[in-house]
Structure formats: C-alpha cells, structure tokens
DNA sequence: GCAAAGATTTGCT
DNA sequence: GCAAATCTTTGCC
C-alpha cells in the first residue's frame, strides 16, 4: 500500500521555522456545535499566515521570562493549542511546536474561510457585540446614517488577524492544551488535499513586537501566502524557497 | 500587594 | 494615522 500522505504528526517533528513554512495551506477545522449561537455548520479555513516564537532567548516570545503559569503548554509536546488573551480583549491561537521541554509555538495570524463562512461571521459579530463600546463607537452610534450601515467585513477577511481568527472560530483560552492533531478534537489541523498546489510563502518581520530588542524585532519569522486575500497585512519579501512564477 | 504593559481591533480625523 | 477599550500576567517592593 503506497500512502501518498505522511502521518499528520510528522510535520511537527521538524524545526519550528520549517513547520511554519510547511503549515501554510493546512486546514483549521472546527466541528459544528450542538446548539447556541455557533450552531449550524462546521467551520473550515485555510491557514495563510503564521508567526514563529522560538525559545526563551526570543525576546518577543511569552517564554522570555521562563516557564510560567500562562505559557506552560509551550513547554509541552507539539501540536497542542496555546490560547492567550491580549490587550484584555482578544484571544490568540498558537500551535505548539518542538519537542517537550523546548518552548516554541506558531501564532495563527490569518485564516482564509472555506466552509461555514456564515457561522464565522455570526460568531465574530456576537463577540463584537459582547464587547463594551469604545468612545468612538458610541459617537458613531449617535449618527443615524452610520448606525444604519453596520460594518460588514468581506467574507474573505472574516479571520484576517490573530484576534479575528479566534472570534470567527469561537476559540478562547479554554482551548489551551487541546490536541490539534487528534482527529477527534473539536478543533484540529488537517493537511491540504494532495492534489492542491503548494502555495508560495513570503516572509517578513513579526507584527506588534516593537518592545523586543534586535535581532528579534527584525527576524523574518512571519510566514504568509502572498496570494491570499485573507493575509492580515502585506508581506515584505518572497521567501527563497518558493517556486518561480 | 501594586503598577505596568501587552504577539489587537476599531472608528474617527 | 491616532487613541481608546480592557484585564490578565508579570515584575518588583
């Protein structure tokens, strides 16, 4: 029997930067929920943008302070979810990489929706509605013209940002520790179809880490499919490995 | 115990 | 392009 596809876990036995490049194009899958506001359909998206955070030496990583309560799962086996709250408002999904004992993870920055787009949009709006209004939002609400024209993000950009990925897929910190490589998990990773053309991969510096010293601030540890409309921001340069054209 | 800052998103100027 | 919203985590006294 010739199996054209290696085991799902095999991808994670490589160094984090190689996993980052290879995981572009993989599917993020969430099963349909039994009830509630997120019921109705399963959600599937194509991972189009990730960032690598590697080791305690990486001054942009949550592991820079060593092992703590929050980042403990980063020190565990690969393929697990690490979800944290940033700025007191937004959940962000990471995929743990490297063998147990080595703290590293990939931040999922953007996903291109494939299935369950209506559910993603509803979940995002539900989370936005639960959020208290900013002063700017309150001011806009007083204007009838603005109030009657609610913002509707393009479907392709419904998960175009790390906080938006979690909002669209209904992911929060309770998902931390979940095995994303287990086919039985409600949220999981699946490889792309074997006949799908591998995407180009562009790289650039990581976003939102100005607090980190060099060289960490400028390392090209952000990876994205430059062809995808779901990428959160333009990428700077093409990666050397990508095929021409 | 307390103070500071953050792997973001949003709407207005 | 800017500033606000929000609360957990971390470092330090």
Separation of alpha carbons A223 and A162, rounded Å = 13
Q: Which residues touch strand B (CB under 7 A)?
A: A 51, 53, 60-63, 71, 85-90, 92, 94, 105, 107, 124, 128, 134, 136-137, 139-140, 143, 146, 151, 153, 161-164, 206-209, 211, 232
Supply the pLDDT for residue A139: 47
Enumerate residue ranges in chain A where pLDDT < 70.
1-9, 35-39, 131-153, 236-245
CA A60 to chain CA centroid, nearest Å: 17
Supply the pLDDT for residue A147: 44
Q: Which pTM does this prediction carry?
A: 0.89
- Reported as a single tens digit per residue, the pLDDT across A31-51 is 998 765 555 799 999 999 999
Whether residue A66 is preceded by a cis peptide bond, meaning omega within 30 degrees of 0, is: no
Q: Name the phi and psi angles at A152, rounded to 5.
A: -125, 105
CA neighbor of A100 nearest in space, from A61, A67, A60: A67
Which of chain A's residues 66-125 bind strand C, using a 7 Å CB cutoff? 66, 68-71, 84-85, 87-89
Whole-number Cα distances in Å, A60 to A15, A43, A51, A73: 18, 31, 11, 17
Supply the pLDDT for residue A40: 73
Q: Is the CB of A65 under 7 A from strand C?
A: yes
Supply the pLDDT for residue A201: 98
* A147 membership: H or E segment, kind and range: helix A144-147
Supply the pLDDT for residue A128: 82
Separation of alpha carbons A80 and A176, rounded Å = 7
For the CA of A213 and the C1' of C12, the distance in angstroms is: 22
- Reported as a single tens digit per residue, the pLDDT across A218-232 is 999 999 999 999 999
What is the dihedral angle through the alpha carbons of A84, A41, A120, A30, rounded to the nearest 10 degrees?
30
Whole-number Cα distances in Å, A100 to A12, A80, A92: 12, 11, 21
Separation of alpha carbons A22 and A106, rounded Å = 12
Supply the pLDDT for residue A36: 58
Supply the pLDDT for residue A232: 95
Supply the pLDDT for residue A135: 54
């Amino acid at each position: 029997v010739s199996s054209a596809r290696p085991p799902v876990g095999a991808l994670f036995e490589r160094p984090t930067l190689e996993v980052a490049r290879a995981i572009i194009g993989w599917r993020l899958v969430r099963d349909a929920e039994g009830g509630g506001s997120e019921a109705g359909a399963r959600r599937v998206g194509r991972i189009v943008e990730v960032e690598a955070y590697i080791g305690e030496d990486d001054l942009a990583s949550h592991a820079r302070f060593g092992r703590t309560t929050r980042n403990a799962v980063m020190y565990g086996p690969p393929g697990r979810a690490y979800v944290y709250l940033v700025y007191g408002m937004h959940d962000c999904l990471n995929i743990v990489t490297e063998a147990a004992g080595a703290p590293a993870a990939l931040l999922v920055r953007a996903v291109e929706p494939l299935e369950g787009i209506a559910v993603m949009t509803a979940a995002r709006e539900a989370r936005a509605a639960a959020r208290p209004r900013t002063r700017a939002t309150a001011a806009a609400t007083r204007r009838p013209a603005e109030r009657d024209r609610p913002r509707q993000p393009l479907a392709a950009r419904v998960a175009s940002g790390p906080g938006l990925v979690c909002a669209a897929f209904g992911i929060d910190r309770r998902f931390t520790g979940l095995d994303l490589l287990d086919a039985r998990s409600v949220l999981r990773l699946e490889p792309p179809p074997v006949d799908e053309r591998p995407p180009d991969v562009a790289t650039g510096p990581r976003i939102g880490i100005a607090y980190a010293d060099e060289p960490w601030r400028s390392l090209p540890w952000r990876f994205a499919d430059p062809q995808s409309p779901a990428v959160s921001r333009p990428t700077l340069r093409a990666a050397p490995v990508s095929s021409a054209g």
